[in-house]
Amino acid sequence: MPRIYLDHASSLPVDPRVLEVAQPYLTTFHGNPSSLHSVGLEAKRAVEEARSKIAAFIHAENENTILFTGGATEANNLAIRGTALRNISQGKNVVASVIEHMSVLNPMKELQKNGFTFTTIPVDSTGLVDLKQLEQALTKNTIVTSIMYANNEIGTIEPIREISKLVHEEGLYLHVDAVAAAGRIPIDVQKDGIDLLTLSSNDLYGPPGAGALYVKPGVKLQAVLLGGGQEKGLRSGTENVFAIAGMGEAARLAHKEMDKESTRLTSIRDALIKEILTIEQSYLTGHPTQRLPHHASFRFSRIEGESILLNMDMYGIQVSTGSACSSKTLEPSHVLLAIGLKHEEAHGSMVLTLGRSTTMKDVPAAVVQATRETVQRLRALSPMP
């Protein structure tokens, strides 16, 4: 059965062009960048080239602002724990929106054990951060505020420039998790007023197992992973040269193709949204217009998300859901609850995230048909009024 993969927010295939650039670093040029012989130096060169590509991608001041990590979760942990603990003498408060990824929320919760207070900022029903409450929450004790560029579950894009102005009036640093947004909408860390930015390799069609943290010159932080002192002592461990080289090339390609690709995906996204919303008692989640170009997220009354996901998979279509049953904790998505959905409403969620393999030709028709039939079948089984 031909596959229609619409869960790019969870994982993406490595782009073949990226793999071609990166693969030699697994086999021929497998050196350790810290080795001073020719094989090591070749590996080091690849890491530095990737660093430059990523700096250019986000309009960073220079390549030295980019630190490589083992992934976005690690970059988030470094950004949050690293700045909070390093600057603890200046204040003991951290702030985040309620819809941040758990790799931001959990490190912030954990900081409470170090005596930090953790303030969360609510969002409205479309997922936009409440700027008034943010302003009120920020104090001179606020060391790091973390607000994502765009949310992976509901697609909403946050007003980062406005947020940056507020954060810098009172607080110290603004951290932005750009995992969902990177490669989809333009990011300029200088113009956007960002101090720390998290990127994920796989989310750019690069190899999984690498991420990056942009650190604005002057920002003080300390390492979370200790060891041999790589990445200026801020992230020890032999660099994953293959994944890093891949990440650099992935960023370069994403940067180059972003406008055209985002325009292309927006048309497909809009066609899907228009058609799927004709299904009775179906609703779009997230902001209707300020949303990622590849992101179409819905909820359907009276039915449950894991069933939706399994049923769609039977049609050869892979989607995601925010339902409780589908999570490890059996709690529904904290993002869906944060936008004001009741538990039973949050259960019926289906999230589609499009990608390079998604075409206008056969995808919308097949997906809309499968969704209709799935919703119909599950509703016929349902006791919900």
Partner 1 sequence: MATVGYSKKVMEHFMNPRNVGVIENPDGYGKVGNPVCGDVMEIFITVIDDVITDIKFRTFGCGSAIATSSMVTELAKGKHLDEAMKLTRSDVANELEGLPPQKMHCSNLAADALHEAIKDYRNKKQKK
Give whichever of 16 and 385 is closer to partner 1, judged by the CB atom: 385
Q: How many Å apart are CA 90 and CA 142, to the nearest integer?
A: 8
Q: Does residue 323 interact with partner 1 by CB under 8 A?
A: yes
Alpha helices in 58-129 (DSSP H): 72-86, 102-111
Stretch of 50-58, 128-136, 283-291, 342-350 lying at the interface with partner 1 (CB under 8 A): 342-350
User: In the β-sheet with 349-353, what is the strand arrangement from edge to edge?
Assistant: 282-284, 295-300, 349-353
Per CB under 8 A, 280 contacts partner 1:
no
Considering only 69, 146, 320, 326, the residue that binds partner 1 (CB under 8 A) is 326
Instruction: Tell the smallest beta-carbon distance from residue 227 to partner 1 (Å).
Output: 31
What's the closest the beta carbon of residue 308 comes to partner 1, in angstroms?
10
Nearest distance in Å: CB 342, partner 1? 8
Judged by beta carbon, residue 23 or residue 327, the one nearer partner 1 is 327
Stretch that binds partner 1, among 113-121, 210-218, 317-325, 367-375 (CB under 8 A): 317-325
List 102, 226, 277, 325, catalytic entry: 325
Interface with partner 1 (CB under 8 A), residue from 19, 134, 347, 353: 347
325 tagged catalytic: yes
358 burial (CB, 10 Å; 0-12 / 13-18 / 19+) is buried
> What are the DSSP E strand ranges found in the chain?
4-5, 66-69, 93-97, 117-121, 142-146, 173-177, 196-200, 211-215, 282-284, 295-300, 317-318, 349-353
Task: Find how far residue 167's CA is from the centre of its chain.
Answer: 21
* Angle between the N-to-C axes of helices 305-314 and 363-381, in degrees from 0 to 180, rounded to the nearest 10: 130
Asked if 365 touches partner 1 (CB under 8 A), the answer is no
Instruction: Please identify which residue in 75, 204, 303, 375 interacts with partner 1, judged by CB under 8 A.
Output: 303
CA distances to 203, 216, 277 from 148, in Å: 15, 17, 27
CB of 315 to partner 1, least distance (A): 11
C-alpha radius of gyration, the chain, whole number = 21
Number of residues that bind partner 1 (CB under 8 A): 23
Q: How far apart are CA 165 and CA 160, in angstroms?
A: 9
Taking alpha carbons only, the member of 289, 293, 288 closest to residue 259 is 293
Nearest by Cα to 91 from 26, 140, 127 = 140
CA distance 346 to 329: 15
Q: Least Å distance between CB 314 and partner 1?
A: 6
Say if CB 164 and CB 192 are below 8 A apart.
yes
Q: Which stretch binds partner 1 (CB under 8 A): 116-124, 183-191, 237-245, 375-383?
A: 375-383
| Nearest CB to partner 1, comparing residues 130 and 306 | 306
Which of 28, 344, 360, 362 lies at the binding interface for partner 1 (CB under 8 A)? 344
Q: Check binding of 1 to partner 1 (CB under 8 A).
A: no
- 344, two tokens: 């039973």
Nearer to partner 1, 133 or 382 (CB): 382
Our finding on whether 304 is near partner 1 (CB under 8 A) is yes
Nearer Cβ to partner 1 (174/303): 303
For 275, other C-beta atoms within 10 Å of its C-beta total 16
Tokens of 187: 């990011």
User: Could you tell me the two tokens for 35?
Assistant: 């080795």
Cβ-based nearer residue to partner 1, 147 or 303: 303
Shortest gap between Cβ of 8 and partner 1 (angstroms)?
21
Distance CA 186, CA 58 (A): 8
Q: Which stretch binds partner 1 (CB under 8 A): 108-116, 218-226, 304-312, 356-364?
A: 304-312
**E strands within 112-238?**
117-121, 142-146, 173-177, 196-200, 211-215
Stretch that binds partner 1, among 43-51, 68-76, 164-172, 298-306 (CB under 8 A): 298-306
Is residue 306 involved in binding partner 1 (CB under 8 A)?
yes
Beta strands in 6-104 (DSSP E): 66-69, 93-97
Is residue 332 at the binding interface for partner 1, with CB under 8 A as the rule? yes
Q: Contacts with partner 1 in 69-88 (CB under 8 A)?
A: none
Q: Which residues bind partner 1 (CB under 8 A)?
A: 302-307, 310, 314, 323-326, 328, 330, 332, 343-344, 347, 380-384
Residues with catalytic annotation?
325
